[in-house]
Amino acid sequence: MSTGSIESYLAALKAGIPITEPQLRHLCSVVKSLLVEECSVTAVSSPVNVCGDIHGQFYDLLELFTTGGEIPAKSYVFMGDFVDRGHNSVETLLLLLCLKALYPAHITLLRGNHESRQITQVRELAKREARSASPTSRAPLREPPFASPPSRAPLREPPRAMIDRKEFSS
């Protein structure tokens, strides 16, 4: 993986510039390869910032990093539901995926119910994708990196994080 290209995607997203479809496919491929190798229970060391539902609130997410500290200086566990309801669901998810690709040991992404194919097709992400004025196709997000369970996870077991021997799940 070329981290330079992922860093350029991250910079573009933060500047409000959409990434291209080939870049999107590359990012999803990189993150999917990381996620399938994770166990369904991820051990996380404190101190760590635990964040609830983001729901597509891109600018709130940027503010969260301003307030709580930037990755990799700080570590984060995101409890799922990255998309839906907010106006920037695609950008929010892509920003988190860039951070996962660049700093996998500093960010844990737990899949919520909004990161499933069924919810994505029915809810706001699909609607916004259809209305998007962006020239970039969002087809890779219809089959998000979260669609495949971790290779070392029992089938249907929800992803969880263990922080100082306390279990967290979305």
Q: What residues act catalytically?
A: 114
For residue 50, which of 111, 136, 110 has the smallest C-alpha distance?
110
160-163/166-169 β-pairing: antiparallel
Give the Cα separation of 84 and 67 in Å (integer): 23
Sequence-ordered alpha helix ranges (H) in the chain: 3-14, 21-35, 58-68, 89-102, 117-122, 124-131, 139-142
CA distance 87 to 121: 16
